[in-house]
A and B are shown apart, each in its own frame.
Chain A
């Protein structure tokens, strides 16, 4: 039964024209009865988003707001603010910057809240598809817990982006496991509404399958297009795709859908940046992609051509021989190959990781990290996130992943079991990225987009059990473990924090900087002045001023650049970073008459700048 389209009795046919009041009332009653918890949890997300107060997420205030605002205004010369980030897909930053730069303080919260609440019905539908034999209430509880676990709840209503990235991830998985219309494998005779692991004959792997797998891959690509850091966890998702899809050919279709969509979005954007900044699309580059320039353009075009061809090709010409295509050994071999590839990516990330606070030195450390519940150590030191938290999701995910890996050999033995492969695929697709990310970066947030899905992987594992009582007890155990943080509230870090917020201690229910304060600052910045923003947490003032006459600098200028500065010069700084001012003086940028505006919630330092005459002389001599 799909509660989103509740069954209608014969007396009230679904498409009967002119439903009378009673029938309509009955439909509403049925709907509410079958999804009441989903509705309540969705509303709670919206309330939580509002309750968080104005979003003061550190990365957003520090970099992303001004970057999104400038890029959306066609300003690609960022002069030091995220100069390399501009090459990556900035779509979510532009989205967030737009909502934060207009309207009342709560507008972004409402927008984020509406987007984040979609997680609940999405997980609900996924849970139904993954475990149709589980009770409806379990589906609903799993959907509710997807947003109530602390690691997710702390991000609701904020601009961190991981919850936005979670949505296409859920939809991609839902499409992968979604049932084919009229499939006789759907329903109570099968734990999975087994959509993609169809009979792997060339006929079966026809257009419909191809399009569905391609679309699933394309949906997955939306995740890193929204949140570029998610790209690093994609190899971990791909590990599970072969066994989830059930055929090598299907895996290729999925990967093509992913690659084509990602490259279209990411390289399409990077080409715009290349044209705007260098005058030629051939100078394109994209973070996370090891090639650049014309090679990248060629690769993108080849992938797009292959994608178009794969969608147009008839099955028997395109796909591999049947026996090989779906053979368990081939699937496990492909899975193992992806594990090796993902390990190589993890090693690369470990070498390149910029933050050694979280990096795990060895496998013993990895074990400890994976099975802790996010508490503090050594008094106040957080273990794998800047905020203290208590959450049981990751340890549970590791137990489920261990169970799935132990069951994998059964794939070779129980070749006729049509439930086994997709169930294991779902579990690995959801849980392996948590293990992978912990080893690669050690930082929990980078994989937090899969946290809402862990409950689904739990009921996927127990859906393999035929005994109804055991299946039910297993699902309840999953729910109980995920719910623990809501009951064990006496722990040091049990309170759900406001993740990464500058206004950390208490929520702020008004603009972080008021309109009056912005007006005061505005009057202190002369027309067409050169403004050097120094230190952290001050660039968010730029979009709020909204002035295009000012020439903003976000990096320390060189002496020859200082020599060319004309007109009024203002040094705008975070008072906590004022020790950086002497470095500017060394470059010939003198400062005087420094003041600090002590606003209600933030402080802004201002100095009047001038160019050292010696620097101008140097420039004149050199010319």
Chain B
């Protein structure tokens, strides 16, 4: 401590003071408080770490029941327009290739996307009418879309508005309908909006037609 012109420490209190000065004066005075704060943070962290939950694995019956519930969620009423919007029951029939639904419907984000649905036993669906709108640029408003079922394939040139495409189905209670596009684009790429995700078309919903309707 000679550089500050003070005497060397001689007593315990001098030692503490010298140590305090050595380590930055007030800094050392705060150390107990800092240790306390650090201990509290660490204790909170450990408590949070130890209280993390772990779900038990399902037994076979629970697994089977969950699969059955999932299949049941795809059973749809017939003859009515089924919105594929968020929180609507038909949203659960949006299969591979559809993004998470919005309040109005769901975007196809790939060249191909599928609708997987079922009807009550005893009913025989004959066709499905899908309502959709393609993402197109202001300059080039054409989008070629093909809808395929197990027995039919329909190709339509969509012009940017909200349009319907009708496709025949085979009458089985479980159906898989695939929608394919010739290309996908992003709104930011087409200078339509800030979204960077690539889309083909926006599906608002569909209607299942059955025999006799």
Contact = CB atoms under 8 A, between A and B. Distances in A.
B93 to A, nearest CB: 9
A592 to B, nearest CB: 12
Contact of A519 (B25, B55, B87, B95): B55
- Of the candidates B21, B55, B197, the one having the most CB atoms from chain A within 10 angstroms of its own CB is B55
Given A579-B97, A598-B100, A547 B57 contact: yes
Contact of B92 (A207, A522, A525, A598): A598
A585 to B, nearest CB: 13
Contacts of B91: 598
Interface in B164-204: 187-188, 191, 193-194, 197
Interface in B54-72: 54-55, 57-60, 62-63, 65-67, 69-70
* Closest 8 A/B residue pairs (Cβ): A181-B25, A523-B66, A203-B3, A578-B96, A527-B57, A546-B54, A380-B194, A598-B91
Contact of A594 (B48, B69, B95, B101): B95
B54 A575 contact: no
Interface in B99-113: 99-101, 109-112
- Of the candidates B53, B59, B96, B110, the one having the most CB atoms from chain A within 10 angstroms of its own CB is B96
A527 B64 CA distance: 13
Nearest to A378: B191
Contact of A208 (B22, B99, B100): B22
Contacts of B188: 380-381
A103 B45 CA distance: 12
Contacts of A581: 96
A135 interface: no
Given A595-B70, A598-B91, A602-B100, A546 B55 contact: yes
Contact of A380 (B2, B87, B94, B191): B191
Interface string B38-62: 0000000100110111110111101
22 contacts: A95-B45, A98-B48, A103-B51, A175-B24, A181-B25, A379-B191, A520-B66, A522-B57, A522-B58, A523-B58, A523-B62, A524-B67, A526-B60, A527-B58, A528-B57, A547-B55, A576-B97, A576-B98, A576-B109, A579-B97, A594-B95, A594-B116
B10 interface: no
B61 to A, nearest CB: 10
Interface of A is mostly: mixed
A101 B53 CA distance: 8
Interface in B109-142: 109-112, 116
Interface string A127-153: 000000000000000000000000000
A99 B48 contact: yes
A372 B65 CA distance: 58
Nearest to B44: A111
Contacts of A107: 48
B23 interface: yes
B194 A579 contact: no
Contacts of B23: 208, 211
A102 B57 contact: no
Given A520-B66, A523-B65, 10 more contacts: A98-B52, A103-B51, A181-B26, A315-B3, A524-B58, A524-B70, A526-B58, A578-B96, A578-B97, A595-B116
A388 interface: yes
B73 to A, nearest CB: 8
B45 A98 contact: yes
A600 interface: yes
Interface residues of A, number: 60
A6 to B, nearest CB: 15
Contact of A546 (B53, B59, B101): B53
Nearest to B51: A102
A26 to B, nearest CB: 23
Contacts of B109: 576
Contact of B22 (A207, A526, A548, A595): A207
Contact of B193 (A201, A203, A380): A380
A605 interface: yes
Contacts of A605: 96
Contacts of B70: 524, 595, 597
Contact of A545 (B55, B63, B110): B55
Contacts of A549: 57
A201 B54 CA distance: 62
B94 A596 contact: yes
B203 to A, nearest CB: 13
Contacts of A212: 24
A528 B23 CA distance: 55
A525 B57 contact: yes
Interface in A515-548: 518-520, 522-528, 543, 545-548
A12 interface: no
A578 B99 CA distance: 10
A206 interface: yes
Contacts of B48: 98-99, 101-103, 107
A204 B191 CA distance: 63
Contacts of B45: 95, 98
A578 B48 CA distance: 35
A72 interface: yes
A177 interface: no
A132 B189 CA distance: 52
Contact of B99 (A379, A594, A603): A603
A72 B48 CA distance: 12
A497 B189 CA distance: 22
B34 to A, nearest CB: 11
Contacts of B99: 575-576, 603
Nearest to B91: A598
Interface in A63-113: 72, 95, 98-99, 101-103, 107
B3 A206 contact: yes
Contacts of B187: 380
Nearest to B49: A98
Nearest to B96: A578
A547 B86 CA distance: 29
A404 B10 CA distance: 47
B54 A547 contact: yes
Interface string A377-392: 0111110000010000
A468 B92 CA distance: 69
B98 A575 contact: yes
A343 interface: no
Contacts of B60: 526
Nearest to A101: B52
A127 to B, nearest CB: 18
Contacts of A102: 48-49, 51-53
Contacts of B26: 181
A181 to B, nearest CB: 3
Contacts of A180: 25
A211 B21 CA distance: 11
Contacts of A425: none
Given A526-B63, A600-B87, A203 B2 contact: yes
Interface in A576-623: 576, 578-579, 581, 594-598, 600-603, 605
Nearest to B107: A576
B55 A596 contact: no
B141 to A, nearest CB: 19
A565 to B, nearest CB: 18
A73 to B, nearest CB: 9
A365 B100 CA distance: 38
Contacts of A381: 188
B57 A181 contact: no
Contacts of A525: 57-58
A375 B111 CA distance: 33
